[in-house]
Amino acid sequence: MDDWLEHLQKADSAVAELVRKELDRQEYGLEMIPSENYASLAVLEAMGTILTNKYSEGYPGRRYYAGNKFIDQVENLAIERAKKAFGVPYANVQPYSGTPANQAVYMAVCNLGDVVMGQGLLDGGHLTHGWGTSFSGINYKSVQYHVKADGYIDLEEARKLAKENRPRLMWVGASAYSREYPFEEFSKIAEEVGACLAADVAHVAGLIVGGVHKDPAPYVHIITTTTHKTLRGPRGAMVMVTKRGLEHDPDLGAKIDKAVFPGLQGGPHDQTTAAIAVALGEALKPEFKGYARQVVQNAKALAQRLVGNGVKIVSNGTDNHLMLLDLTPFGKGKGVFVQDALEGAAITVNKNTIPADPAPPFYPSGVRLGTPALTTRGMKEPEMGLIADWIADIVKDSKDIMLPEDKLERRSAVKAFRSSVGKNPKVAEVKGQVTDLCKRFPLYPELR
């Protein structure tokens, strides 16, 4: 049915057509970027409500504009559900996305130039944890810890760096790390040096709520997360303060509030707040635990089958929803080629650096992929076996494509490869198999 775009079709058929094309892309492809998922129709409906019409600077009961009686109730509902889901006494649900949420933590905890510490970007960390090109590495003195040769965080290095540099703020959490985050170990390090410890759980938030990843609340002072990854909500974010955090600083919640507004943002996106409330309500239902458990089971099955097919994985497996393929056995800088070949086969992943990558970041030697969206569609271990075989076939089919050493030749080499993908018989074969699989697991049948 097309009545879900009835008004858009009448007002702007060009945009409506692009939305339909994107629905087809999502419907008939395998979404394996681990930071992406499929929101429920209820979440999508909340995002499209008349709440988008309202301005609501401030917080419930303390708004700068009139007419926020019901907006206050929506925001309070989202806050209470966040507190219940994560077992915390304080939550701010207004951050527009993950980076502003993390920026609010810096503003609340640090002064410009303070020492901060986080996992290096090339070792699976996040830009906002102190990377040099981010505000977090520009405005603060950043110290970065790394992973060991086996792909696990080097806790001894982290402890040594913390003792030597005495950071004001420490981060635990990552964007391309496939093992459980060591909250307890970092808590001990932070306590030794008197640092505030923040857990960025954007990737694993749904796994935490679902009970299949260690809970950070007993160990850290602050928790930040986006709401659209394993939580299956809208593109928003939250900052939460734990009981331990309030014991560390009783004013920490108020400082976070002040940092979010008026420190960094204006009016909240009320339609997003409503959708966050809906997603948290879904995550609090018993069946969500089954979803989270299946995400991890699928990831483990996928990783095991890939390794069995001769594809190397950083740390040789996964504890969560994602994995990082190390393509250096097939040549350095292969990530962009494998990403594009897989996209041609309707399997969406993202190129990614690997630890100690021999190639430059824009032409990395890895590919990051995961199982949250596949699991939302209802796929399980048997499907992971099929998908792993297809990915391995594409990886091996691309083995003879090499990244030129000359920088000027790289762009033209990638362009030429992309133009050839559509003519590749292996890519076409896998795409046909992917389409058949997707038809067995319809995405939004109510919209057809």
| Tens-place pLDDT, residues 101-145 | 999 999 999 999 999 999 999 999 999 999 999 999 999 999 999
Mean pLDDT of 201-217: 98
In the predicted structure, residue 3 carries a pLDDT above the cut 90: no
Query: CA-to-CA distance for 370 and 389, rounded, in angstroms?
Result: 15
Catalytic residue among 54, 229, 334, 377: 229
For the cut 60, the answer to whether the pLDDT of residue 258 exceeds it is yes
pLDDT at residue 2, as a whole number: 54
Separation CA 389–CA 146 (nearest Å): 31
- Catalytic residue status for 179: no
pTM of the model as a whole:
0.96
Domain ranges across the chain: 50-283, 286-447
User: From the candidates 20, 141, 214, 235, which is the catalytic residue?
Assistant: 235
Is 229 catalytic? The answer is yes
Q: Which two tokens stand for residue 105?
A: 């933590």
Taking the alpha carbons at both ends of the chain, their separation in whole angstroms is 4
Given a contact cutoff of 8 angstroms between Cβ atoms, the answer to whether 264 and 104 are in contact is yes
Average pLDDT, rounded, for the chain: 96
Residues 6 or more apart in contact with residue 178 via CB below 8 angstroms: 151, 303, 313, 314, 315, 317, 318, 319, 320, 322, 323, 324
Active-site annotation holder among 224, 226, 242, 375 = 226
Mean pLDDT, rounded, for 164-185: 98
286-447, which class in CATH?
Answer: alpha beta
Please compute the mean of the pLDDT values over residues 419-438 and round it to a whole number. 96
pLDDT in tens, 188-200: 999 999 999 999 9
**CATH code of the region 50-283:** 3.40.640.10
pLDDT the model gives residue 1: 43
- On whether the CB atoms of residues 223 and 216 are closer than 8 A, the answer is yes
Half-sphere exposure (CA, 13 Å, Cβ side) for 283? 32
* 395 pLDDT higher than 50: yes
Q: Pairing state of beta strands 115-119 and 141-145?
A: parallel
What burial class does residue 96 get, using C-beta atoms within 10 Å of its C-beta: 0-12 exposed, 13-18 middle, 19+ buried?
A: middle
351 carries an active-site annotation = no
Catalytic residue among 36, 45, 57, 114: 57
* Region of 187 on the Ramachandran plot (φ > 0 left; ψ -120 to 50 alpha; else beta): alpha
Please provide the DSSP assignment of 333-391 as one string: T-HHHHHHHHHHTTEE-EEE--TT-SS-TTS-SEEEEESHHHHHTT--HHHHHHHHHHH
pLDDT at residue 437 is higher than 80: yes
CA–CA dist 67, 55 (Å, integer): 9
Among 55, 96, 152, 444, the active-site one is: 55
Q: Where are the alpha helices (DSSP H) in 199-344?
A: 205-209, 243-248, 252-258, 270-283, 286-308, 335-344
- 55 catalytic per annotation: yes
pLDDT exceeds 50 at position 301: yes
Task: State CA 274 to chain mean position distance.
Answer: 20
- Check if the beta carbon of residue 324 is closer than 8 Å to that of residue 295: no
Q: Catalytic residue, from 200, 343, 357, 383: name it.
A: 200
Is residue 368 annotated as part of the catalytic site, yes or no?
no
pLDDT in tens, 214-249: 999 999 999 999 999 999 999 999 999 999 999 999
What is the structure's pLDDT at 448?
73
